[in-house]
Chains A and B, each alone.
Chain A
Amino acid sequence: DTAVSQTPKYLVTQMGNDKSIKCEQNLGHDTMYWYKQDSKKFLKIMFSYNNKELIINETVPNRFSPKSPDKAHLNLHINSLELGDSAVYFCASSRAGTQNEQFFGPGTRLTVL
């Protein structure tokens, strides 16, 4: 019954590797997001897709590439991982309309060694 799910929950990898994080929502929402949360809990928007179309693309290194195969999925691929990429990554989704909130996944803790 999970509304927004992410895999994996933990990801430990070496510098220079390439990794992916997957996100799925079963809420029927048309907009999905990726956020990065640093160690001080600051939440930074990275990307947003609406109906599989990229609508928000903040200042993020181009080593990060989102992919939305359909409305219910938004994956994040990271090339050439760096130490500074270590963080918790959250996926979220929302329905159109100002009054509607976002629903967040449980997060993926990425540790780059």
Chain B
Amino acid sequence: GDSVTQMEGPVTLSEEAFLTINCTYTATGYPSLFWYVQYPGEGLQLLLKATKADDKGSNKGFEATYRKETTSFHLEKGSVQVSDSAVYFCALRLGNFNKFYFGSGTKLNVKP
């Protein structure tokens, strides 16, 4: 079935370190892919998205490229800040459906 798998956390990094959070998906069609971020005590908010293969989504220094050949959408940031500490969710949406599939979330802790 359709699903999203992302790396387990927590991920702990020092400020200015490079971040990668892995996300792979299984889908029967041609999904759009999303990364959401959840700060403590808040709802999820869209971080970036990509709607077709080879698209790169980017926002606030975060990037992810839609790789159809490896069914992946890994999140990267070159230099993390303490304020990036949050839980990150990878998600997909398939055409003709209103259902979103979410990964289990990856908690990121950034230390000063």
Contacts and interface: CB of A to CB of B under 8 A. Distances in A.
Contacts of A45: 99-100
Interface string A38-71: 0011110100101000011000000000000000
A30 to B, nearest CB: 9
B32 A98 contact: yes
| Residue among B34, B46, B93, B95 having the largest count of chain A Cβ atoms under 10 Å | B93
Contacts of B51: 98-99
Interface stretch (B18-26, B72-80, B102-110): B102-110
Contacts of A90: 43-44
A105 B43 contact: yes
Interface string B50-80: 0100000000000000000000000000000
Interface residues of A, number: 26
Contacts of A26: none
Interface of B: 30-32, 34, 36, 38, 42-46, 49, 51, 87, 89, 93-96, 98-100, 102, 104-105, 107
Interface of A: 4, 31, 33, 40-43, 45, 48, 50, 55-56, 90, 92, 94, 96, 98-107
